[in-house]
Amino acid sequence: MRQFLPTAKDSWVSLSPPMKTDKELIKELKDEIKSLKSEIIDLLDEIMREKCLFHSGGPRGGWWDSMAITYTCHIGDRLVELGLWERHPDGVGRRWFYRPIANENVL
């Protein structure tokens, strides 16, 4: 077994990856947060489009009806806070109507 071990100090090879600086780690974490935030927003948007009823015509044509479902109201309000969707001013009780804002460069 001894013949397989390195004999000189400089012949040792580290198997672990080189250590990253704090700046590199912070940048990596910020990039990961940005990526995760984008994924979450995409999922919230998808949930709204899957669970809400789309009105294709009439006085609320182009608006998504939350149907007073608690989580769609919360998701819709969060998308409004993010500036991605807007809420119709004529909601009735908890039955709110939402639609995406046309500007794609909001975030």
Q: What mean pLDDT is predicted for residues 3-31? A: 75
Report pLDDT digits (tens) over 19-62: 888 899 999 999 999 999 999 999 999 999 999 999 999 888 99
Q: What angle do CA 51, 39, 23 make, to 5 degrees?
A: 160
Quick check: 88 and 63 in contact, CB under 8 A? Answer: yes
Identify which has the larger pLDDT, 95 or 63: 63
